[in-house]
Structure 1
């Protein structure tokens, strides 16, 4: 959540007036990710997050915003987009960019999770998947396999030979997996696709919300679970799984939605897929960055380590 577009207080006040969210008392740019411009909006009525979308188009955005509204209506703790008081629209325009304002969730990100935190994430992720089954809009995961195939040739020139060979070999493996009958049998629906530690809020061990749905799309539920496992349940020094945390998340998820036979079979491969996706995107952001006021690209070597660990030490259900 970097700042690519500067928003003035007058522009923020005009937006707040349309949304009937009170008078502006604070406007602060948020440093963090690398896709959109984000600000905290403090008003006399509460605390909000303003997002200006730098890559996503106005045609793509209804999927994300309506998904959040759908999940919120089903009782999943997610930020609910705020509507224009005159038109009812939840997609707005600020500085010529498509924009949204959502509630700021209570609590804080848990960057050093224990088994209780991981179990809470697994439980709520399963509930989110089931709640999204009847969501009426469809949009593919825009950072899925077609994007990997298109992006790898762009980053290969920047890579050392051994890492480049690993990247190409794993991409070939994932193309093979995606064409298999087991993969075709995987349950799918709307997924978050980016459920890292900094996209979940807690108060103590109580989960208070999932947020940042702007990588969401329709994909396999197993991929979504694997993305979470690869961030919440690992040793960050070498990328290996933290067994207790991984089993806590898996067991809590399965208590709500048991994994199918195909999902259990492909769990090790989809964990590799989750690592590959973020290795590719971090390579792309690191070597082909955009200018931003608060942009801090992530080190791509982290997910190279995670992928190597997924290959040499596959995780299976116990």
Structure 2
């Protein structure tokens, strides 16, 4: 989250009359994240999050907002989009698509223990199962095709050893994506960005997943790998913490058992998850967009994770 498009309380006062939320009382920009303009919005009816979408189009957004509504209706703890008086989830604000969703209770758990990882694993499995009958289709927009498109843009900015690693890993992932085990993996809607700051807890109780705006249809195992690569590591080294890995994977497996194809693909998928975020952070770091509140993430964090996943086998899925 960030603020690329400034919005004032005065701007929102008339715009919000189309929603069943009463008067807007307070609006505060959210500085974390790097994709959209986000604000905490307080109205007479409660607290919400207003998002102005900087990259996603009016045509793309129904996938994300309807997915959130689909999951919420099936008992998954996610923000519920708010429709206006015409039943629309997406409306224009300052000429850009915008949406309002409910604000989750709790706060992000930035020092997760096995109990938190278990809760995330179980909810992630329930989310995957709940999304099986979601009718809309959209690929992961930060998948292999985007990796190919983006790699040439960042290569001029990085030293030779990093360029060699990036090109070698792209080649490895191409080969992996063409193998039989990959083709056997379960596919469906995935969050694709389930980091610690996108999950809310009240103590040890998980209160919700949010920020679904990188979601798409991809392998469920990729979603698990992205999650493990953030929730179950030492942040300074990227080394996996065995107790947290085991807690997350066991809790997921108890809800939606892993397959033998997924077991074979696990190590490669952990590398894929690390590559995706290393590449996106390289791009955001060297080719940043202007924003009122934005601090690009350090790309070396996921470079370390990728090198560690290549060097050290991770605990198995089961």
Instruction: State the TM-score, normalizing by the size of structure 2.
Output: 0.99
Q: Does the 8 Å contact 1:267/1:316 carry over to 2? A: no
Measure, in 1, the Cα distance between the counterparts of 2:82 and 2:102: 8
Measure, in 1, the Cα distance between the counterparts of 2:191 and 2:310: 24
1:36-185 paired onto structure 2 within 5 Å: 36-85=36-85, 87-185=86-184
Q: Does the 8 Å contact 2:242/2:315 carry over to 1? A: no
Measure, in 1, the Cα distance between the counterparts of 2:239 and 2:273: 14
**Displacement of 1:13 after TM fit?**
1.5
Measure, in 1, the Cα distance between the counterparts of 2:132 and 2:34: 29
Measure, in 2, the Cα distance between the counterparts of 1:119 and 1:102: 26
Alignment root-mean-square deviation, CA: 0.7
Measure, in 2, the Cα distance between the counterparts of 1:66 and 1:37: 20
Structure 1 alignment gaps of length 5 or more: none
Deviations 1:77-97 (A, max 9, x none): 100110012x10111111100
Asked if residue 20 in structure 1 is aligned to residue 13 in structure 2, the reply is no
Aligned residue pairs total 317
Deviations 1:29-88 (A, max 9, x none): 000110000001011210000000000111110000000000000000100110012x10
Asked if residue 6 in structure 1 is aligned to residue 3 in structure 2, the reply is no
**Displacement of 1:240 after TM fit?**
0.8
Measure, in 2, the Cα distance between the counterparts of 1:147 and 1:65: 22
Instruction: State the TM-score, normalizing by the size of structure 1.
Output: 0.99
Structure 2 alignment gaps of length 5 or more: none
Indicate the residue corresponding to 2:267 in structure 1.
268
Partner-residue secondary structure (3-state), 1:25: strand
Measure, in 1, the Cα distance between the counterparts of 2:87 and 2:295: 35
Runs of at least 4 residues of structure 1 off by over 3 A?
A: none
Partner-residue secondary structure (3-state), 1:136: coil
Deviations 1:222-261 (A, max 9, x none): 0000000000000111111011101100000000001100
**Displacement of 1:25 after TM fit?**
1.5
